[in-house]
Amino acid sequence: MVLLNILDKYCLPKGYINAVCVGRKKELSALENAFQSHDSSFIPIYGRRRVGKSELIKNFIKNKKALYFLGKQAPARLQIREFLRNGALAFQQPLLEQASVDGWQRAISLVIEQVSAGEKIVLVMDKFQWTVGASPELPSVLQSFIDNGWKDGCKVCLIVCGSYLGFMEKRVLGEKSPLFGRRAGQIFLKPFSYLEAGKFHPKWSETYKAKVFSICGGIPYYLNFFSQTDSIDVNIRNNFLNEFSALAREPEFLLREELKELKKYFGILTALSTGAVTNREIARITGIDERALFYYLNTLIELGYIIKHYPLTGAKVNPKQVRYKLHDPLLRFWFRFIYPNGSAIYQMDEKSSFLNLIKPHLDAYYGTGYETLCREALSRLYQKEELTCAYEIGEYWDKDIQIDIVGYRQDGVIDICECKWGTISSMPQLLKELNSKISAYPNKDNKTIHGRLFLRSRRKQPSSHSVRTHFISDIYRLD
């Protein structure tokens, strides 16, 4: 019998695809192995919002005796009361809800007392960062249960889950945490790959799949809102320009749950979405002092929404060369097209808004997204080519050139790659551009440099043996 509390519900779109049907097999297997072990176990699960953590857990606890508790931004007393209410429902012990307790230690003890000797249960504490925000002592309370045993003859598979990466890494996984060294494993749940994301829309062409990946990334919740029966353009209109749609204000709701001083964060994300990449550029656009900017950027990094990166040369990174990038495609799309045009979108109808404010700039937007996809594809190409050495994949830039993709390998080879989403007017000219970038790359270790082209449109392959060409149809067959 499946024993669950009332789980948080989303208004799911027609044709919804369960993320576990697309991937997450390794993660489910890891959880199942922990549950099947003879001992109690502790598994932290973390990852950015909407990546599918709760859905993974819900699928895992099907047909298991389980108590699922969803933390919230509420006083500790109210959360403890809800925890006991959920326990009463899960273990069919109505009197548990009426118990008078003075903290988490007693509340958890009362729940565990309802478990029979020889039984193993799953105890899930989701959105753990919010519960700990109201009850800072909770990690120490859980430590005492893990160290001293939950109850004679009773085994517990404890799962704590959170979306604030910085919190989970410091307060749960970090060496200063009371829970440090007690986990049986951990799951950092990442967005789906471009190939897995494509499985949400199996009838679409590779070009359509790449377009929706540029907007939704590998986030299953977002991918499910794009209907295969409509074009990408119609999906954009329906999901972003209709004020009543789920995604129209999704970034605003998402950020309000996690952040204060929203104006400053909105300013930073808008600056990043329009091409600002350095501290100085972001500070100039937002008006935030450059010294104070670090705090806001670091918070967005800890939430998994932006990343910082450096030119890839194999040398030690130079902090002065750091750049910031919006890592979340939906935020990049929303802050590029929706947020800055809010007044105009409100005044115009959906079709006019799309044709005038979004459509003219979409190809350039898709081109940037295609570069991200191709960086991921290069790693899969290395696997297909049976590359056995270590490697890094990144970018390179200086004041004169920008190289889309650099594959820095430990076998004495560097791959310099050019991505082209648009129409290729001249293959010889494209090869000339690639060769000029190869010549300009600072190859201080005198490694062998190979060129690669990632093209959307299929063209005749260049005769040069030192250049490999990969078309979008090829990289979608790398599964």
pLDDT digits (tens, 9 = 90+) for 87-121: 999 999 999 999 999 999 999 999 999 988 889 99
Confidence of residue 165 (pLDDT cuts 50, 70, 90): confident
Q: What is the mean pLDDT of residues 299-317?
A: 94
402 exposure class (CB count in 10 Å sphere: 0-12, 13-18, 19+): exposed
Confidence of residue 7 (pLDDT cuts 50, 70, 90): very low
Confidence of residue 8 (pLDDT cuts 50, 70, 90): very low
Residue 14 clears pLDDT 80, i.e. is over it: no
Q: How many CB atoms lie within 10 A of CB 144?
A: 12
Which of these ranges, 12-16, 39-43, 174-178, 433-437, has the smallest mean pLDDT? 12-16
Q: What is the mean pLDDT of residues 221-242?
A: 96
148 exposure class (CB count in 10 Å sphere: 0-12, 13-18, 19+): exposed
pLDDT at 21: 73
Residue 5 clears pLDDT 90, i.e. is over it: no
Output the average pLDDT for the chain. Answer: 92
Confidence of residue 40 (pLDDT cuts 50, 70, 90): very high
Residue 207 clears pLDDT 60, i.e. is over it: yes
Are 295 and 249 within 8 A, CB to CB? no
pLDDT at 154: 87
Q: What is the spatial distance between Cα 72 and Cα 92, in angstroms, rounded to a whole number? A: 24
- Global confidence as pTM: 0.91
Q: How far is CA 32 from CA 25, 159, 360, in A?
A: 10, 12, 49
